[in-house]
Amino acid sequence: MSGRAPALAHLRKVLRNGVFAVLPKPFDVGHLSRTVRRALRRPAVLVVDDHEDQARSTAEALRAIGLRVESISDGAGALRAIEDRPIDICIVDLVMPGMSGAEVVERLRRSRSDITAIVVSDYVVPELMQRAAANGAFACLCKPVAADELAQVVAEARGRADMR
Question: Which range marks the domain in which residue 117 is found?
Answer: 4-161
Which residues lie across from 89 on neighbouring strands? 45, 116
Q: State how far the Cα of 100 lies from the Cα of 70, in Å rounded to an integer.
A: 19
Checking DSSP bridges between strand 69-72 and strand 87-93, what pairing results, if any? unpaired
Return the closest-CA partner of residue 92 out of 132, 120, 53, 70.
120
Q: State how far the Cα of 13 lies from the Cα of 100, in Å rounded to an integer.
A: 34
CATH number at residue 48: 3.40.50.2300
Count of domains observed in the chain: 1
Give the pLDDT of residue 22. Answer: 72
Spell out the per-residue pLDDT of the chain, length 164, in tens: 455 556 656 666 666 666 677 777 787 787 678 767 765 567 899 999 999 999 999 999 999 888 999 999 999 999 999 998 999 999 999 999 999 999 999 999 999 999 999 999 999 999 999 999 999 999 999 999 999 899 989 988 998 876 65
Give the pLDDT of residue 31. Answer: 65
Amino acid in position 20: F
